[in-house]
Amino acid sequence: MMIASAVRNLSRRSFSTSKSVSAQQLTVRDALNAALDEEMERDEKVFLLGEEVAQYDGAYKVSRGLWKKYGDKRVIDTPITEMGFAGIAVGAAMAGLRPVCEFMTFNFSMQAIDHVINSAAKTFYMSAGTVNVPIVFRGPNGAAAGVAAQHSQCFGAWYSHCPGLKVVSPYDSEDAKGLLKAAIRDPDPVVVLENEMVYGVSYPVSDQVLDKNFVLPIGKAKIMRPGKHITIVAHSKSVETAMQAANELAGKGIEAEVINLRSLRPLDSETIFKSVQKTHHLVTVEQGWPQGGIGSEICARIMEHETFFHLDAPIWRVTGADVPMPYAKTLEAAALPQVPDVVTAVNKVLGVK
């Protein structure tokens, strides 16, 4: 009888129809690879260039298999000169192609920022709308692990400051595929700020995400978890920190609504406003520095909107420490937002001891 009962229970479990069990798993790396492959197949004007993207299959294997499939003309290895190949990419976009320019890390995009801002972002305006620059700048952004100050910076606030650019910051596999495809199809320059630490992480995805026609709208946030007591807004890997904090808070009876921004420019203010008008409390989470950060911008927009009058307590920002990233492992952890930091912030905003 015990064996028969165990078999019945096992059968029930194997036929579970819950989303988490039935959903397929996809790594962020494979999601980005699929997005590139599908868009290159869809439009012959799309091509990829950057350091080690071709014969080596990409420094992070995001472009795995694309060189073999599309050849030298559409998957191009470049010298280690960001200013040079970013300029080539911008010129190609002005001439009607759709380049995807990979930076091995966005820290190196500083070498090319003149092309990103002055050439790509401003040309549509300066040409009175006659010259589009359909280019994607993509690569890992923000903190990795053990690579110190010159390889760990978040450029979300830097690039979202600039009119003429769209800036997206995907978190999971759904974000990565849908936003990269949208960026490639966009008629204007889009900066895609990925995160190296989630490249190898698998996330559940639906059949819709795996479809070749799946595209996410740029400028629309996603509510990852509904809640009624406080709103937590984050982007990129900080969404994971926010979700873990929300789970811990739920055990104490605090239901936090977690918003994944997805897009930093345009920023989905309306989704934030609606949530805060419901919860009356707000905490922002980001790995970037505090001064002039994404959290600061959200605070300013709340202040300038009627949503301010719905707040029952001041907004609290949880950010990276205001220092260059340390190399030591313990100091690196101390310089980045951790789950206890978010929980502490929520408790302070809600007046919980």
Determine the length of the chain. Answer: 353
Separation between Cα atoms, residue 346 and residue 249, nearest integer Å: 9
Domains 26-210 and 222-350 in one fold: yes
Task: Report d(CA 37, CA 27) in Å as an integer.
Answer: 15
pLDDT digits (tens, 9 = 90+) for 334-348: 999 999 999 999 999
Tokens of 261: 């921004």
- β-strand partners of 26: 203
Q: Tokens representing 188?
A: 């204007």
| Of 151, 229, 235, 281, catalytic | 151
What are the residue ranges spanned by the domains of the chain? Answer: 26-210, 222-350
How many whole angstroms from its chain centre is CA 229? 26
Per the CB < 8 A criterion, the answer to whether 142 and 195 are in contact is yes
Tell which CATH classification among 3.40.50.920, 3.40.50.970, 3.40.50.300, 1.50.10.20 matches the domain 222-350. Answer: 3.40.50.920
- At 110, list the tokens: 């500083």
Q: Is 151 a catalytic residue?
A: yes
Q: What is the mean pLDDT of residues 41-58?
A: 97
At the topology level of CATH, where does 26-210 sit? Answer: Rossmann fold (3.40.50)
Q: Using one digit for the tens of pLDDT, what is the confidence trace for 84-95? A: 999 999 999 999
Q: End-to-end CA distance of the chain, in Å?
A: 51
Q: Which two tokens stand for residue 14?
A: 């194997």
Confidence of residue 353 (pLDDT cuts 50, 70, 90): confident
**The predicted structure's pLDDT at residue 9:** 43
Say whether 235 is catalytic: no
Give mean pLDDT, residues 304-312. 98
| Active-site residue, from 38, 51, 82, 240 | 82
Inform me whether the pLDDT recorded for 329 exceeds 70: yes
